[in-house]
Amino acid sequence: MVIAVGQEEVERLERRYHEKGFGDLYPKLELIGRDRIAELEPAVVEERAPDVELRALYTPDGYVVDYGETAKSLVAEAREESGVDVYTGTPVEGVVETADGYAVRTGGGTAMADGVVVSAGSHSLQFAKQLGYGEDMALLPIAGSFFLAEDFLNGKVYTLQMGKLPFAAVHGDADVHDASVTRFGPTAKPVPALERGELSTVGDFLDVFGFDLDSFVSYANILADRVLLPYVLRNLVYDLPELGTRAFLPHVQKVVPGATLEDIEPARGYGGIRPQIVDTSAHTLDMGEATIEGEDIIFNITPSPGASTCLKNARRDALSVVDFLDGDYQFDTAGFDAATVENFPHETE
């Protein structure tokens, strides 16, 4: 569910539901009030001042998915297919266009390919730029951290996202593997690196930055924004020891008013970096993900919620790859849909 706290947020939430099409887009989404929220998520209502307006959008079709496990299971199945080789722990050092396709240079040798899909997170843009694609794009890497608390929630409870920001607002959710833990976050802190805690990726960031006038103007324009700037400055504090936890507590209390400083602690080893896309022609920060489709090659740059959309992207890319291979292969669209989308309950009851 996503909650709105206070009159101004309640009005915004109701507008999104009734006027902006959220209610039509998700037929099972319900607009619910305090009593129903209390039944579903008691901790969201307990200790909340009774005169503060509270509303939520709630869907009974809630899923929490461990996409790491999903990926492992897909790889395990792929390995069983004849003619499929899977190389993990094998860094790709470069992709070069040749007269008959692409040469993919790796630590374990070079593979020749008629078609390539680069899904290397923020590094995808680095590969794209090396091949002359993505010229009007740069990245604003946004690190996200979490805080852990005891078992406060039954499902995911989001706070209201600011329309202008491409990051989900702070939410609390029960850990996918351990229901006794509730996780709050993520924070959003710009960092000049492509991977968390990997100093070596500062150079990779400089590759995708571009160092031209448009990049500088874009970053200046984005970071000077009167919504984004205060948001970013506040987020710089949350990773500081002690002070960070204290500063983050109000976000937790917005979801669970009864939470105290003793209830939360920084989650070590959680989190990562979201590669937010900068449009260096329009000098703006883009919402969501980017796919660059070139000549027999695709580059996917997937900030949040790239996990939730990964199977849809895989379906689209599989169809493109079949096209790259000039009709020698087919993709079983019906089989894919039967195994995935058709298992998802779309219909209203």
Ligand X SMILES: Cc1cc2nc3c(=O)[nH]c(=O)nc-3n(C[C@H](O)[C@H](O)[C@H](O)COP(=O)(O)OP(=O)(O)OC[C@H]3O[C@@H](n4cnc5c(N)ncnc54)[C@H](O)[C@@H]3O)c2cc1C
Task: Take residue 28 and report the two structure tokens written for it.
Answer: 């099972």
> Which residue, 28, 41, 306, 309, is CA-closest to 173?
41
Three-class secondary structure assignment of 7-18: HHHHHHHHHHHH
- CB closer to ligand X out of 115 and 306: 306
- CB closer to ligand X out of 308 and 340: 308
Task: Take residue 334 and report the two structure tokens written for it.
Answer: 């019906």
Residues 87-126: x where in contact with ligand X by CB under 6 A, - otherwise, as a string: ----xx--------------------------xxx-x---
Q: CA 92 to CA 325: how far, in whole Å?
A: 22
Supply the minimum distance, in Å, between the C-beta of residue 304 and ligand X: 4
Residues in the chain: 349
Task: Take residue 146 and report the two structure tokens written for it.
Answer: 């979490």
| Region 157-186 residues binding ligand X, contact defined as CB under 6 A | 186
Maximum Cα–Cα distance across the chain = 71
- CB closer to ligand X out of 28 and 105: 105
Supply the minimum distance, in Å, between the C-beta of residue 83 and ligand X: 21
Q: Which stretch binds ligand X (CB under 6 A): 18-26, 302-310, 325-333, 334-342?
A: 302-310
192 binds ligand X per the rule CB under 6 A: no
Task: Take residue 238 and report the two structure tokens written for it.
Answer: 């949350």
Which is it for the CA torsion 14, 174, 27, 45, positive or negative? negative
Task: Take residue 255 and report the two structure tokens written for it.
Answer: 């979801």
- CB closer to ligand X out of 144 and 266: 144
Q: How many residues bind ligand X (CB under 6 A)?
A: 20
Decide if 280 contacts 306 (C-beta within 8 A).
Answer: no
Supply the minimum distance, in Å, between the C-beta of residue 213 and ligand X: 28
Q: What order do you get walking across the sheet with 109-113 strand by strand?
A: 92-98, 101-106, 109-113
How far is the CA of 10 from the CAs of 41, 91, 185, 275, in angstroms? 18, 48, 22, 31
Supply the minimum distance, in Å, between the C-beta of residue 301 and ligand X: 8
Decide if 30 contacts 57 (C-beta within 8 A).
Answer: yes
Supply the minimum distance, in Å, between the C-beta of residue 291 and ligand X: 10
Supply the minimum distance, in Å, between the C-beta of residue 289 and ligand X: 7
Q: CB within 8 A of 126, min separation 6: which ones? A: 120, 194, 204, 207, 208
- CB closer to ligand X out of 120 and 259: 120
Supply the minimum distance, in Å, between the C-beta of residue 343 and ligand X: 18
- CB closer to ligand X out of 104 and 222: 104
- CB closer to ligand X out of 48 and 187: 187
Supply the minimum distance, in Å, between the C-beta of residue 249 and ligand X: 19
Output the residue with the shortest Cβ distance to ligand X: 306
Q: Which stretch binds ligand X (CB under 6 A): 47-55, 130-138, 297-305, 324-332?
A: 297-305
- CB closer to ligand X out of 191 and 322: 191
* DSSP code per residue over 25-83: HSTT-EEEEHHHHHHH-HHHHTT--TTS-EEEEE-S------HHHHHHHHHHHHHTSTT
| Region 228-287 residues binding ligand X, contact defined as CB under 6 A | 271-274
- CB closer to ligand X out of 180 and 200: 200
| Secondary structure element (H or E) that encloses residue 233, with its range | helix 228-237
Supply the minimum distance, in Å, between the C-beta of residue 307 and ligand X: 3
The correct pick among 141, 152, 304, 321 for binding ligand X (CB under 6 A) is 304
Applying CB under 6 A, the residues found at the interface with ligand X are 91-92, 119-121, 123, 144, 186, 271-274, 300, 302-308
